[in-house]
Amino acid sequence: MRGKTLIVLCGLAAALLARNLYVMLLELPDEAAQGPIFRIIFFHVPAAWTAFLAFLGAAGASLLYLLRKDLRYDAFAVALTEVGLAFAAANLATGMIWGRIIWGIWWTWDPRLTSMLVCWVLYAGYLTLRHAVEEPGQRARVAAVVSILACVDVPIVFFSIRWWRTQHPQPVVWGGGSMDPAYWNMLFLNWIPLLLLGAVLTALRMRQESWQREIEGLRRRAHAL
Amino acid sequence: MTAPAGPSALESAVEPAVRRPAGFLRSALTVALKDLRAELRTKDALNASLAFSVVILLLFSFAFDPSVEETRALAGGLLWLVFAFAGALVWNRSFARELPNDCLEGLLAAPISGAALYAGKAAANWLLLMAVELAGLAVFGVFYNTAWTSRFWPLLGVLALGTWAMTVVGTLFSALTVNLRLRELMLPLLVYPMLIPALLAAIQLTGPLALGQPAPAEVLVWLRLLGAFDIIFTALSLALVEAVLVG
Amino acid sequence: MSALELEEVWKFYGDFPALRGITMRFDPGACLALLGRNGAGKSTLLRILAGLSRAGRGQVRVLGADPRERQARARIGVLGHGLSLYEELSALENLTLFGKLYNLAEPGRQARRWLERIGLESAGDALVREFSRGMRQRLAIARAFLHEPELLLLDEPFTALDDRAVAVLQELLGEARRKGRTVVLSTHQLREALEPASHVALLVRGRLAYAGERRREMLEDAGWLYRTYGEGT
């Protein structure tokens, strides 16, 4: 993506975010049981959705790499994964803050936070693996396989840990607990700026990755002479 | 006119006709038997895993006193932690044993598919790990004084499924990390997080069985999860291993 | 049907081209000496021909098929730097293993026959771990020729061979040529490679500088080939 497009997207994201914050803080009423901190859910949940989308996209890019052997797909995969990790971390952080305020403890082994932590570790492993492989073609191949496996593992992790524990309040999107339609709208509305932000970060990271590869290539050529 | 005779002694001394490559199962079996023979001769991984399992069980019995009733509830978790750690020693060797003398190249140049090579190694690893686990289970029974033998067959079934899950993922990552530096670190860093659903299921199923109690009603859910995990990851691994092995 | 056919083959390690636009074609029965300095791409090319590695771009056909196809690999024999022998298995077990992998009928019997041929019949049950270097080399040679391959890919086969192993290899190469098999030999040692060769291919920094018949000048003057076709000194 060109620089101008990125700036426009950033601006759009900022504007939406500002508008949402205004609505969140001033117009929406507090939730009955949880008070003002409830608003953190408007970042906590969309961050998770963004992370999942990113991981899914990374797996798709990885599959395309294995089929086409074009290193740009690999750059896309690593960029998406890093962005996904960032949003997963945001999800974990907001979840922990919320838990601390509501229940007084930093970590409760509730299913969704636990599952997200496992996913985070999985993809952190993906990044660590990339650092251990020098040759770009081998690195891309190996990372692609791990990305696909990790992506398939994500839903399995979530289901298994959910069956194992139940302490989180009813999942609001997957059925179970109900939510005021105004809150629903805000969840989706706030997802948009997060997605835009994710797209911008991915584009920036991809650009950085292609420069990195160019430098590595030049270095290798310099050594060979 | 006499009917044409079969290949004469002279013909069989001359070069054989072009053969078809061996099928998947035969190739996998050849590789599996080769690995087992090599391992049983040197017993490197086997001894290490066995010793490791016993020592960890010993350490656990200091950390989690077997005579206390509450810790007996941890039985399933303890066992699978031991199996998972011991397993790492087995998978690590799996493709690493092909490194000396570039044996991996010899195997890859042979007319067997990457999937057959992988399947053979996974099968061999599974057998080795099952042997280690059964030994570990025996030691556990002694230390924790449990009547697991009364639940032997269901327990064996759970062990088989859980070990297959570990082996499928562990062997694939063994192939993936075979010529990476920090191989020993990569394997546990990548494998264990991926195995969490399978380990969870195996622990839930093993817990009561290892103590000689019948499995609870909700067991079907975990059994299905473990089965699904096994099938999905076996299929994925067989499909992806070729990309891992040949660049 | 040609034995080897490469068309515009490129191989990249990241963005670095190890092979650049290699195009060549050789008929069955050729004995090709693959020459080039270190890093020129000889091993890379051999690995692609053996099916151990995939070309980045271009077409590769070996005995009429893609080298990654199992049908092709069944008719190819490979001898690399590492000898591909299992230390913890015996000589007989090693050969029987590869016999089974190459789907020979009666792999055990073939293995024994070959052990006799290379003079290791008395050491058949000894573990390779206990073998001397020369014995291992002979065993590795047997492993490569075991399944009577139509195409032989040998990466610097004469390097550090003892006299007996050299004799075995030369005898087998001679027999292969008589049977019309194709041989590709990569090497530094010009003399030894050029003598049995009918054709020569020279790789210079990943490019094919020469591919054709062996000429008299190459045999008479060791440096002629590099001077005429190589770049620089």
Structure ipTM:
0.91
Tell me the average pLDDT of chain B: 87
Identify all chain B residues contacting A157, using CB atoms and an 8 Å cutoff. 196-197
User: Distance between CA atoms of C140 and B137, rounded to whole angstroms?
Assistant: 43
- Is the pLDDT at B4 greater than 50, yes or no? no
Q: Which of A198-202, B48-52, B84-88, C159-163 has the lowest mean pLDDT?
A: C159-163
**Closest approach of chain A CAs to the CA of C37, in angstroms?**
13
- Is the pLDDT at A176 greater than 80, yes or no? no
**Closest approach of chain B CAs to the CA of C205, in angstroms?**
21
User: Distance between CA atoms of C66 and A210, rounded to whole angstroms?
Assistant: 32
What pLDDT, on the 0 to 100 scale, is given for residue B232? Answer: 97
Confidence of residue A189 (pLDDT cuts 50, 70, 90): confident
User: Distance between CA atoms of C73 and B137, rounded to whole angstroms?
Assistant: 44
The SS3 call for residue C7 is strand
A69 close to C (CB below 8 A):
yes
Phi/psi for C126 (5° steps) reads -80, 145
- Which of B20, B31, B109 is the closest to C103 by Cβ? B20
User: Tokens at residue C108, please?
Assistant: 């055990």
Confidence of residue B199 (pLDDT cuts 50, 70, 90): very high
What's this model's pTM, rounded to 2 decimal places? 0.90
Tell me the average pLDDT of chain C: 89
- Is the pLDDT at B218 greater than 80, yes or no? no
CB atoms within 10 A of CB C61: 17
What pLDDT, on the 0 to 100 scale, is given for residue A171? Answer: 45
- Which of B20, B30, B100 is the closest to C100 by Cβ? B30
Confidence of residue A161 (pLDDT cuts 50, 70, 90): confident
Q: In chain C, which residue's Cα lies nearest the Cα of B32?
A: C97
Residues 87-106 (B) with a CB less than 8 A from some CB of C? 100-103, 105-106
* Cβ distance of A69 and C56 shorter than 8 Å: yes
Mutate to test the interface with B, among C54, C75, C97, C128 (most CBs of B within 10 A): C97
- Is the pLDDT at B152 greater than 80, yes or no? yes
Query: What is the percentage of chain A residues whose pLDDT exceeds 70?
Result: 88
Identify all chain C residues contacting A71, using CB atoms and an 8 Å cutoff. 14-15
Confidence of residue B220 (pLDDT cuts 50, 70, 90): confident
* Cβ distance of A122 and B193 shorter than 8 Å: yes
- Is the pLDDT at C19 greater than 50, yes or no? yes
Confidence of residue C231 (pLDDT cuts 50, 70, 90): low
Identify all chain B residues contacting A122, using CB atoms and an 8 Å cutoff. 193-194
Residues 92-121 (B) with a CB less than 8 A from some CB of A? none
What pLDDT, on the 0 to 100 scale, is given for residue A172? Answer: 39
A122 close to B (CB below 8 A):
yes
The pLDDT tens digits for A112-160 are: 888 999 999 999 999 999 998 888 899 999 999 999 999 999 999 998 8
Q: In chain A, which residue's Cα lies nearest the Cα of C206?
A: A224
Contact A148, A80 (CB under 8 A): no
The SS3 call for residue C146 is coil
Q: Chains near C, with 3+ CB pairs < 8 A?
A: A, B
B57 close to A (CB below 8 A):
no
What pLDDT, on the 0 to 100 scale, is given for residue A76? Answer: 95
Identify all chain B residues contacting C148, using CB atoms and an 8 Å cutoff. 15-16
Concatenating the DSSP letter of every residue in B72-139 gives HTTHHHHHHHHHHHHHHHHHHHHHHTTTGGGHHHHHHHSS--HHHHHHHHHHHHHHHHHHHHHHHHHH
- Is the pLDDT at C233 greater than 80, yes or no? no
Contact A106, A161 (CB under 8 A): no
- Is the pLDDT at C131 greater than 70, yes or no? yes
- Is the pLDDT at B3 greater than 60, yes or no? no
- By C-alpha distance, which of B116, C10, B241 is closest to A66? B241
Identify all chain A residues contacting C15, using CB atoms and an 8 Å cutoff. 71, 136, 213-214, 216-217, 220
- By C-alpha distance, which of C101, C104, C97, C105 is closest to C139? C97
- Which of A121, A148, A163 is the closest to B193 by Cβ? A121
- Is the pLDDT at C4 greater than 50, yes or no? yes
**Could you tell me the CA-to-CA distances from A124 to A46, A128, A153, A169, B190 in Å, in that order?**
21, 6, 14, 28, 9
What pLDDT, on the 0 to 100 scale, is given for residue A170? Answer: 43
Phi/psi for A145 (5° steps) reads -60, -45
What pLDDT, on the 0 to 100 scale, is given for residue B226? Answer: 95
> Which amino acid is present at B90?
V
- Is the pLDDT at B9 greater than 60, yes or no? no
In total, the C-beta contacts within 8 angstroms joining chain A to chain C are 27
DSSP 8-state code for residue B180: -
CB burial string A118-141: b at 16+ within 10 A, e below: bbbbbbbbbeebbebbebbbbbbb
**Closest approach of chain A CAs to the CA of B222, in angstroms?**
8
B183 close to C (CB below 8 A):
no
The pLDDT tens digits for B117-140 are: 999 999 999 999 999 999 999 998
**Could you tell me the CA-to-CA distances from B190 to A130, A137, A191, A221, B166 in Å, in that order?**
12, 20, 31, 33, 12
- Write out the E strands in chain B: none
What pLDDT, on the 0 to 100 scale, is given for residue B112? Answer: 94
Residue matched to tokens 């091993």: C43
Element (H, E) at A87: helix A71-103
* Cβ distance of C51 and B38 shorter than 8 Å: no
Mutate to test the interface with C, among A135, A215, A219 (most CBs of C within 10 A): A135
Q: What is the rounded (10 degree) CA torsion for A97, A103, A109, A111?
A: -80
- Which of B38, B106, B110 is the closest to C88 by Cβ? B38
B175 close to A (CB below 8 A):
no
> Which amino acid is present at B42?
T
B29 close to A (CB below 8 A):
no
Query: Which has more confidence, A81 or B20?
Result: A81
Q: What is the mean pLDDT of residues C43-68?
A: 92
- Is the pLDDT at A183 greater than 90, yes or no? no
* Cβ distance of B225 and A153 shorter than 8 Å: no
Quick one: chain B helix, strand, coil %, rounded to 5? 80, 0, 20
- Is the pLDDT at C136 greater than 60, yes or no? yes
Confidence of residue B101 (pLDDT cuts 50, 70, 90): very high
* Cβ distance of C52 and B18 shorter than 8 Å: no
Query: Which has more confidence, A37 or A49?
Result: A49
Q: How many CA atoms does the CB half-sphere of B25 hold within 13 Å?
A: 0
- Is the pLDDT at B56 greater than 80, yes or no? yes
Q: Chains near B, with 3+ CB pairs < 8 A?
A: A, C
* Cβ distance of A164 and B200 shorter than 8 Å: yes
